[in-house]
Amino acid sequence: MLVVLAVLAGCGASSGVTVDCHGAKPGSVYAEPILVERADNPSRVEPYLLYVACKTDDEAAIVDSHGKRYRDFDDFRANNSDFTAKDQLSVARRMPSRGQHTGTVNLSGHTSPPVNWWLVGGGVIALLAIGAFAYWRIFRRPTGPPVY
């Protein structure tokens, strides 16, 4: 059961967008354009700029137009306030793309934060244990002669 909970804790839909500053000069900031199709006006596609700030090859952050920082694109989708789950984003597979065509991914504009499955699973196990204990206390039958 604990193995199942551990596996579920790591589950989550990944966007497929990689933020990778490998080969970029540390301290570089790249403007990364994305296209947005709003749910309330699907016939219009508008540009939106994100910024990728590279600290090192392995460490980068996404910054939106309001200056809010995100760890990666999944964090951006879960915590941004500019888009809804019904908006559609067209994004480069690799950020920063630095002028290279890396393919695109079409995603919803917002996701809910990941559920802590281990916390939910732990709560279920605790409730089952309490229920089993209560059942045992209420319905147990004495196995020997009554003690007076």
How high is the pLDDT of residue 141? 66
Sequence-separated (6 or more) residues with CB below 8 Å from residue 72: 17, 19, 62
How high is the pLDDT of residue 128? 94
How high is the pLDDT of residue 114? 61
Pairing of strands 18-19, 94-95: parallel
Residue 142 pLDDT class (50, 70, 90 cuts) = low
Using CB atoms within 10 Å of the CB of residue 99, give its burial: 0 to 12 exposed, 13 to 18 middle, 19+ buried. exposed
Round to whole Å and give the CA distance between 47 and 109: 13
61, 71 contact by CB (below 8 A): yes
Question: To the nearest 10°, the Cα dihedral for 89, 48, 32, 52?
Answer: -100
Rounded mean pLDDT of 135-141? 79
Tens of pLDDT along 62-93?
A: 999 999 999 988 899 989 989 998 999 999 88
The model's pTM: 0.64
